[in-house]
Amino acid sequence: MVDIKLLKVQLFKYKGICMISREMAINFLNSASVDDILNYINLINNNFKRKYVTYSKNVFIPLSKWCRNRCGYCIFREDNPSLMKPNEVKEILLRGDKLGCREALFTFGERVDENKEIKEQLKSLGYSNILEYLYDLEEWTLNNTSLLPHTNCGILDYEELKMLKDVNASMGLMLENASERLMNTIAHKYSPGKDPKLRIEMIKNAGKLKIPFTTGLLIGIGETNKEIVDSLFKIKEIYDKYKHIQEVIIQNFKPKKGIPMENFKEPTPIKMLKVIILAKLILKDISIQIPPNLNRETGQLFLLAGVDDWGGVSPLTKDYVNPEAEWPEIEELRNMTEELGLKLKMRLPVYDKYISREWLSEKVYNKIIEMGWLKE
């Protein structure tokens, strides 16, 4: 059983240092008792005071669904190499603006311009690659709407990240898991971009460039408890050096008809609860997010474990990664939050503590000032 008195001593004696060891974390996932779980929840709520649970009102823009990766759990990828046209994108942005959205989530399959047909479509629009097209769309977003771009499009190198920082309030890439073993499993064996070495390098490069960043774990894709814990500690290690990770998503795998992993079981609510508890204890200064559309029945349970962000929620566009799971209405999220004595608060795609010239490009920072969004 967890020694709660010892943990409390660690909390107060070692501020700034991880309050739980790898060994303790692995043992907790392997064999936590009811008392252990309740003790940790009590510890979290006594020492990580929250007044608000935040969310980002967004539009989801999938520029292309073709991807070089073929993940065993993915339903986003399509063989059809199509590309959204500028007028389609701008219409969504303008409609989202009227609905009060403040985040434009731009995404597409990894390295889509390796596909010859997409390359030709880009050429017909006057672009030599997808990132040139993306940059222009995001610059248009900043100049013509009240939305701020956030990009999540797979592996990017240092120079590509540097270019996109100019027009992005934040960026993201799911680590999913730090285990190289998973590259030989049904989850990732046909997905070169899921190599954890590449993903860790990109997250570090974002830190070097001071890009406010989102990452996270995908739970239930064949990983071990040790691999979950090692992945959380890897994120902590990167954050401790660069301080740029604003939120970590703990996302539950959901089986879908037709995917290679359709017969895999999703993680249980208790497994998710335990991972969230560990994420909060290990990643103390980072917001912990869960997707509310994947956790409608269990979301409140996870708030008890320290979750403080619902992530992006759209009144206009669906979740193209999980199209079967509709977004909850904002009022539903409000009710779920307030029932626990917390308040729901809308945020920008960049967290308040990163709104400065140190972290944002002049374009993005000036946009936030112009809109009056800077918190004093």
CA distance 274 to 25: 9
Q: How many CB atoms lie within 10 A of CB 24?
A: 17
CA distance 232 to 275: 9
Structural contact between residues 371 and 146, judged by C-beta atoms closer than 8 angstroms: yes
Nearest to 336 by CA among 365, 361, 307: 307
CA distance 264 to 268: 12
Largest CA distance in the chain: 66
- Is 18 labelled as part of a ligand binding site? no
CA distance 355 to 371: 13
- Amino acid identity of residue 26, one-letter, is I
- Is 71 labelled as part of a ligand binding site? yes
- Is 101 labelled as part of a ligand binding site? no
Structural contact between residues 220 and 266, judged by C-beta atoms closer than 8 angstroms: yes
Structural contact between residues 169 and 349, judged by C-beta atoms closer than 8 angstroms: yes
CA distance 68 to 180: 19
Give me Rg for the CA atoms of the chain.
20
Q: Tell me how far CA of residue 328 lies from CA of 107, 181, 265, 298, in angstroms.
A: 21, 36, 24, 13
Q: Which helix (H) or strand (E) holds 248?
A: strand 245-252
Q: Which pair of tokens denotes residue 183?
A: 């590259």
Q: How many CB atoms lie within 10 A of CB 331?
A: 9
Residues comprising the chain, all counted:
376
- Amino acid identity of residue 192, one-letter, is P
Binding positions for [4Fe-4S] cluster? 67, 71, 74
Binding positions? 67, 71, 74
